[in-house]
């Protein structure tokens, strides 16, 4: 392939009137800086040589009039003065000519950078104009998912700490609109709200345990069970089961087995059935009920000698004695606790 073919295959560079004007404006700056850099050393050495020549001439004149020691010293001093004076002037002018040349070089580079930025901006504007001239492509509009669950309901449930209701609303929203972006948003809000509620609930639980308020402890445990992680739930269950077991044993050692202690034992056995303390209370619950004058099965008041009340045993299957029938038939014969 010939050189002409190669030259024809090269893409022609695009030039714009703006780029030509920038090059015309930058070219004088470049030439001025180059000339200053060329003149600076010549001016420096020329002034130094001129000072030396003037110093020699002045020294020769002084030595021609007198040849004593003072005249010689004065001639040498005068030579140094002229040489240093004009040499220093040359050095000063050389320094400032370099500074001015650097300034012109900076202006040149700044102008070239501005020109390049303007060219890129013009190219971008042309590209945008070309895209705007194209016919618009039809867009497929995706209908927004519809749901009967309102955002206000979910936010209200999260704000009021109704975690179970909030989870049910989110589950309904996911079932109705699986791709709804609100699901991820509200799930995050629910998670943050539950994490923020752990601290205050634990503080309330500690206060309730301090005063041995068993009903309040069970209530707060139910709320914490909704917001704690599985590991934290397990730890809390073991801790509270041991606390309840110690409290129940303390009350049983008081002497008489009271019905309220038996009722509490039943609640603890049911709530903490996964712990060893809960299993122990469940096994001892029939004995505790009979000791408190209650039915071993249902926990209703019962003073008979059978293992359970007629309601549990079945009056037709297990006929009671005459005295027991009188006691069961007469409501006044039952002792309320």
Least confident range of 161-165, 210-214, 215-219: 161-165
Residue 235 pLDDT: 93
Provide DSSP, 50-96.
HHHHHHHHHHHHHHHH--SHHHHHHHHHHHHHHHHHHHHHHHHHHHH
Copy the structure tokens of residue 93: 């002018």
pTM: 0.47
Angle, CA 20 vertex, CA 15 and CA 24 arms, to 5° = 155
Chain centroid to CA 277 = 42
Using alpha carbons, select from 161, 179, 171 the residue that is nearest to residue 220. 161
**What is 260-298 written as a DSSP string?**
HHHHHHHHHHHHTTTSHHHHHHHHHHHHHHHHTTB-TTT
Under the banding of pLDDT at 50, 70 and 90, the label for residue 272 is very high
Q: How confident is the model at residue 64 (pLDDT cuts 50, 70, 90)?
A: low
Identify any residues that bridge with 301 across adjacent strands, giving them in sequence order.
294
- Residue 329: what pLDDT? 38
Q: Is the pLDDT of residue 182 over 80?
A: yes
pLDDT above 90 coverage of the chain, percent: 15
**294: phi then psi, degrees, rounded to nearest 5:** -120, 160
What are 205's two structure tokens?
Answer: 């639980």
Average per-residue pLDDT in the chain? 75
d(CA 305, CA 293): 10
Q: Encoding tokens for residue 25? A: 């404006």
Cα-based angle 189, 194, 199 (whole degrees, multiple of 5): 135
**How many CB atoms are located within 10 Å of the residue 98 CB?**
15
Question: Is a pLDDT exceeding 70 seen at residue 123?
Answer: yes
From the CA atom positions of the chain, what is the Rg in Å?
52
pLDDT at 322: 41
Strand, coil or helix: what is 151? helix
pLDDT band at 279 (very low <50, low <70, confident <90, very high): very high
CB neighbourhood size of 230 (10 A): 7
Q: What is the pLDDT of residues 283-322, one digit of tens each?
A: 988 888 888 888 888 888 888 888 788 888 875 354 444 4
- b/e burial code for range 11-23 (CB count within 10 A of at least 16 → b): eeeeeeeebeebe
| Cα–Cα dist 117/114, whole Å | 5
Give the contacts of 219 (CB within 8 A, at least 6 positions apart): none
Q: Where are the beta strands (DSSP E) in the chain?
A: none
Do the beta carbons of residue 133 and residue 121 sit within 8 Å?
no
- From the CB of residue 123, how many other CB atoms can be counted at a distance below 10 Å? 12
Please answer whether residues 153 and 162 qualify as being in contact, where contact means their C-beta atoms are separated by less than 8 angstroms.
no
From the number of C-beta atoms within 10 Å of its C-beta (0-12, 13-18, 19+), residue 331 rates as exposed
Looking at residue 21, its pLDDT comes to: 54
User: How does pLDDT run across 140-179, given as a tens digit for each residue?
Assistant: 544 444 556 678 888 888 888 888 888 888 888 888 878 7
> Which phi and psi (to 5°) does residue 13 adopt?
-75, 135
- Convert the pLDDT of each residue in 244-258 to its tens digit: 999 999 988 887 788
CA distance 55 to 49: 10
């Amino acid at each position: 392939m010939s050189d002409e073919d190669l030259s024809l295959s090269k893409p022609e560079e695009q030039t714009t009137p703006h780029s030509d004007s920038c090059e015309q404006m930058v070219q004088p700056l470049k030439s001025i800086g180059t000339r200053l850099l060329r003149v600076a050393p010549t001016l420096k050495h020329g002034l130094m040589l001129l000072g030396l020549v003037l110093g020699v001439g002045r020294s020769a004149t002084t030595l021609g009039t007198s040849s004593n020691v003072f005249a010689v010293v004065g001639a040498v001093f005068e030579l140094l003065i002229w040489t240093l004076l004009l040499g220093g002037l040359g050095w000063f002018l050389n320094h400032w000519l370099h500074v001015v040349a650097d300034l012109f070089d900076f202006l040149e580079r700044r102008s070239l950078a501005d020109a390049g930025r303007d060219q890129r901006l013009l190219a971008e504007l042309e590209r945008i104009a070309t895209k705007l001239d194209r016919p618009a492509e039809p867009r497929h509009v995706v209908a927004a998912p519809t749901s009967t669950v309102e955002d206000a309901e979910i936010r209200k449930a999260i704000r009021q700490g109704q975690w179970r209701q909030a989870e049910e609303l989110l589950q309904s929203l996911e079932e109705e609109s699986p791709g709804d972006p609100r699901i991820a948003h509200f799930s995050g809000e629910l998670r943050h709200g539950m994490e923020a509620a752990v601290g205050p609930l634990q503080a309330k639980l500690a206060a309730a345990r301090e005063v041995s308020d068993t009903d309040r402890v069970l209530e707060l445990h139910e709320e914490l069970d909704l917001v704690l992680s599985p590991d934290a739930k397990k730890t809390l269950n073991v801790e509270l089961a041991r606390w309840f077991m110690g409290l129940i044993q303390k009350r049983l050692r008081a002497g008489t087995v009271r019905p309220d202690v038996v009722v509490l034992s039943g609640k603890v056995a049911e709530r903490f059935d996964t712990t060893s303390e809960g299993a122990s209370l469940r096994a001892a619950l029939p004995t505790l009920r009979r000791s408190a004058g209650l039915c071993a099965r249902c926990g209703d008041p019962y003073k008979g000698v059978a293992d359970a009340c007629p309601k549990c045993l079945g009056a037709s299957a297990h006929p009671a004695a005459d005295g027991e029938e009188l006691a069961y038939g007469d409501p006044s014969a039952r002792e309320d606790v």
